[in-house]
């Protein structure tokens, strides 16, 4: 009992801990995943914008080069130089324009040169056919290194930062490269190693320290990165929304676990577990023919054997079982136990019968009769050897009771009214019911030899039963005086501690064997009455 409680409590605590931890952990993980996903979408947006920006810079440069190539002016004439100057001024992306002849720079948008600056080989060629020299020191202006883009006989100089001229968050860095991985320019000093590996990877990703997103287009690759630490703000926002949901789910699960555990720990919960685990055993109280002392059968009385070996008396759990409906599976288990325990004995001695207690619900529905019929099949036990005991209190629906008891007798069972006299119904009320025997309650037997107000009731009950042609069985006989009195009154059978307490199956079998040696076997009178399906007389 204690072990089971401890197990239920331990399981409950474990499930409650898991039930609390899993939703909160799941929501914490979801907060992180959503924050990462949102941040990566933002990085991707900036990477896409960088590609757009770089492409537009290339396009501007190309348009300017196409325009100057198409001019009809004499190379390096005043008109040609003026044209280059106008295009330079009107094209924000370019800083300077130059004209090459025979591999040397002859003039630029600034004017004539000495013709000594030689054309150097391109670092790569864009898909639009522009020769790109990544770092060129402008020899004319002597300014910072620029990127030179050449098409035909002209080139333009572009400040590399024009390609990455995108507004990004302060925490972000970006890099632009061509699709062979040659770096064009960077912004906010990104980690070179990360950029190198990100260029080779698709879309977006994450390292131990940073998040990154990659965009590609027209021979260019843009990578935008951000340290993981900068996720903190977004993560907090997501957590503020999701963690309360996780806490709510956790509280709900813990509540359900506590509710289920308490239910399992409740008497009804324990009884339900006992039914599931088939923890019921049956003891048999011998029934004695008072005239001869012969053991004619037994009443099957259920006991709840807990896993720790302790036995619970039926009056402690039968009322709860009846209220909850668990009495039906318990009755089934009692009947199966009878078949298991006494099959051989009942087949060997046809004069023996076993009485079982039937609950109100089964009397109303008649369900138990089908169950008994099914379980008796192929056992060799005759239906006449099974008596059904029903208390007056269980006849809630008298018409349904009449049908069920009638069916029971037609099938061959004898029907006994248990605890007679303790209910409110009169014998007259019960008179119309199909029955064979009346069990006189212990409370009346107890009055024998005592001068109490109810003493005379006992003999009246016996007389009425005889008048109705019913067998009589006296319960709870504890003294020889009671037995002698009841025998003298013509009571047929008796049970009680005078003869024996309810015994485990093996002890009842031994008791019956001993009794047989002393008193012999009963004549077939009880069986005959039951087979006939009619009352005595
Ligand atoms: N629906 C079911 N009810 C059942 C079943 N098994 C038992 N019960 C009912 O539980 C009540 C208590 O039963 P139990 O503790 O087994 O007590 C029985 C006898 O042991 C007791 N008894 C018998 N002789 C004496 C005696 O001389 N002195 C004394 N003090 N007690 C004695 O009486 C009980 C028998 O009761 P009854 O059924 O009225 O014949 C009890 O109401 C049982 O019916 C079950 O399987 N299903």
Domain range annotation of the chain: 1-265, 279-532
Number of helices (H), then strands (E), belonging to the chain: the values are: 16, 22
Is ligand 1 within 6 A of the CB of residue 286? no
Asked whether 333 lines ligand 1 (CB < 6 A), one says: no
The strand pairing partners of 98, in sequence order, are 108, 155
Burial code of 6-22, b = ≥16 C-beta within 10 A, e = fewer? Answer: eebeeebeebbeebbee
Pocket probe for ligand 1: among 301, 338, 362, 387, the residue whose CB has the most ligand atoms within 8 Å is: 301
pLDDT tens, position by position, for the chain (537 residues)?
566 778 888 888 999 999 999 999 999 999 999 988 899 899 999 999 999 999 999 999 999 999 999 999 999 999 999 999 999 999 999 999 999 999 999 999 999 998 889 999 999 999 989 999 998 888 777 888 999 999 999 999 999 989 988 888 888 999 999 988 889 999 998 988 888 888 877 777 888 889 999 999 989 999 999 998 888 888 888 888 889 999 999 999 999 998 888 777 788 989 999 999 999 999 999 999 999 999 999 999 999 998 888 999 999 999 999 999 999 999 999 999 999 999 999 999 999 999 999 999 999 999 999 999 999 999 999 999 999 999 888 887 888 999 999 999 999 999 999 877 766 566 666 777 889 999 999 999 999 888 776 677 888 889 888 888 899 999 999 999 999 999 999 999 999 999 999 999 999 999 999 998 888 777 654 543 443 333 343
Can you tell me which atom of ligand 1 is nearest the CA of 498?
A: 27
| Closest atom of ligand 1 to CA, residue 356 | 46
pTM of the complete model beyond 0.90: no
**Which residue has its alpha carbon closest to ligand 1 atom 13?**
314
Supply the pLDDT for residue 203. 75
**Cα angle 206-211-217, degrees, rounded to a multiple of 5:** 95
Would the CB of 418 count as within 6 Å of ligand 1?
A: yes
Is the predicted ipTM greater than 0.85, yes or no? yes
Distance 475 CA to ligand 1 centre (A): 9
Alpha-carbon span 472 to 484, nearest angstrom: 15
Phi and psi (nearest 5°) for 363?
-70, -40
Q: What's the pLDDT score for residue 108?
A: 95
Going by C-beta distance under 8 Å and a sequence separation of 6 or more, which residues neighbour residue 62? 128, 130, 149, 151
Token pair, residue 139, equals: 């020899």
Predicted local distance difference test score (pLDDT) of residue 526: 53
The predicted structure's pLDDT at residue 433: 85
> Ligand 1 in contact with 496 (CB < 6 A)?
yes
Measured in angstroms, how far is the CA atom of residue 271 from the centroid of ligand 1? 19
pLDDT reported for residue 427: 63
CA separation for the pair 224, 172 (Å, rounded): 7
Pocket lining: 302 vs ligand 1, CB cutoff 6 Å:
yes
Q: Check: CB of residue 399 under 8 Å from CB of residue 362.
A: no
**Tokens read off for 464:** 């009425």
Whose C-alpha lies nearest to ligand 1, atom 28? Answer: 476
The pick from 304, 357, 477 for probing ligand 1's pocket by mutation, whose C-beta has the most ligand atoms within 8 angstroms, reads: 357
CA of 276 to the centre of ligand 1 (A): 23
> How far, in Å, is the centroid of ligand 1 from the Cα of 449?
23
Integer Rg of the chain from CA: 51
CATH of 279-532, one of 3.20.20.450, 3.40.50.2300, 3.40.640.10, 3.30.565.10: 3.20.20.450
Q: Which atom of ligand 1 is nearest to the CA of 313?
A: 15
How many whole angstroms from its chain centre is CA 186?
Answer: 53
359 lines ligand 1 (CB under 6 A): yes
Looking up tokens 């990100």 gives: 198
CB environment 190-203: b (16+ within 10 A), e (fewer): bbeebbeebbeeee
Distance 101 CA to ligand 1 centre (A): 123
Name every residue whose Cβ is closer than 8 Å to that of residue 172 and which is 6 or more positions away in sequence. Answer: 43, 46, 188, 224, 225, 226
Ligand 1 centroid to residue 275 C-alpha, Å:
20
Looking from the CA of residue 359, the nearest atom of ligand 1 is 1
The strands making up 210-217's β-sheet, listed across from edge to edge, are: 183-187, 173-178, 220-227, 210-217, 204-206
Residue 536, pLDDT score: 41
Query: Whose C-alpha lies nearest to ligand 1, atom 14?
Result: 314
Give the largest Cα separation in the chain, rounded.
152
Question: Which among 314, 328, 445, 504 is the best mutation to test ligand 1's pocket, defined by most ligand atoms within 8 Å of the CB?
Answer: 314
Does the CB atom of residue 475 touch ligand 1 within 6 A? Answer: yes
What pLDDT was estimated at residue 428? 63
Read off φ and ψ for residue 206, nearest 5 degrees.
-150, 140
CA of 301 to the centre of ligand 1 (A): 6
């Amino acid at each position: 009992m204690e072990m089971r409680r401890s197990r239920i409590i331990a399981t409950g605590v474990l499930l409650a801990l898991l039930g609390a931890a899993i939703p909160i952990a799941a929501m914490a993980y979801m907060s992180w995943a959503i924050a990462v996903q949102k941040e990566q979408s933002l990085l991707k947006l900036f990477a896409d914008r960088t590609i757009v920006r770089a492409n537009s810079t290339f396009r501007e440069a190309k348009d300017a080069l196409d325009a100057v190539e198409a001019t009809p002016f004499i190379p390096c004439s005043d008109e040609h130089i003026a044209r280059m100057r106008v295009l330079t001024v009107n094209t924000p992306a370019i800083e300077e324009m130059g004209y090459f002849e025979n591999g040397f720079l002859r003039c630029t948008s600034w004017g004539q040169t000495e013709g000594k600056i030689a054309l150097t080989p391109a670092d790569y060629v864009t898909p639009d056919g522009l020769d790109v020299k990544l770092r060129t020191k402008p020899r004319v202006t002597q300014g910072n290194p620029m990127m030179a883009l050449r098409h035909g006989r002209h080139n333009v100089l572009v400040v590399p930062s024009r390609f990455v001229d995108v507004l990004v968050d302060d925490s972000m860095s970006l890099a632009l490269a061509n699709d062979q991985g040659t770096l064009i320019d960077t912004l906010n000093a990104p980690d070179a190693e990360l950029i190198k590996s990100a260029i080779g990877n698709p879309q977006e990703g994450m390292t131990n320290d940073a998040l990154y997103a990659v965009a590609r287009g027209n021979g260019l690759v843009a990578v935008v990165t951000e340290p993981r630490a900068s996720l903190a703000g977004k993560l907090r926002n997501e957590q503020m929304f999701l963690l309360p949901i996780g806490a709510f789910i956790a509280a709900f699960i813990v509540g359900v676990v506590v509710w289920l555990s308490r239910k399992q720990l409740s008497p009804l919960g324990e009884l339900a577990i006992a039914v599931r685990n088939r923890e019921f055993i049956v003891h048999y109280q011998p029934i004695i023919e008072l005239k001869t002392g012969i053991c004619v059968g037994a009443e099957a009385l259920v006991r709840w054997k807990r896993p720790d070996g302790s036995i619970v008396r039926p009056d402690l759990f039968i009322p709860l079982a009846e209220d909850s409906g668990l009495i039906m599976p318990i009755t089934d288990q009692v009947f199966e136990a009878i078949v298991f325990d006494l099959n051989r004995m009942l087949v060997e001695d046809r004069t023996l019968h076993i009485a079982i207690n039937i609950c109100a619900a089964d009397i109303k529905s008649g369900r138990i009769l089908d169950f008994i019929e099914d379980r008796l099949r192929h056992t060799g036990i005759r239906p006449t050897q099974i008596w059904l005991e029903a208390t007056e209190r269980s006849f809630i629906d008298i018409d349904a009771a009449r049908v069920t008891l009638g069916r029971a007798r037609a099938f061959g069972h004898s029907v006994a009214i248990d605890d007679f006299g303790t209910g409110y119904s009169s014998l007259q009320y019960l008179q119309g019911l199909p029955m064979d025997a009346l069990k006189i309650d212990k409370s009346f037997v107890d009055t024998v030899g005592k001068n109490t107000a109810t003493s005379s009731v006992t003999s009246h009950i016996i007389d009425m039963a005889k008048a109705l042609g019913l067998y009589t069985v006296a319960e709870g006989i504890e003294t020889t005086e009671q037995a002698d009195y009841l025998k003298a009154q013509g009571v047929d059978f008796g049970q009680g501690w005078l003869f024996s307490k309810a015994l485990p199956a093996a002890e009842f079998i031994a008791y019956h064997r001993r009794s047989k040696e002393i008193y012999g076997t009963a004549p077939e009178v009880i069986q005959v009455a039951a087979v006939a399906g009619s009352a005595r007389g």
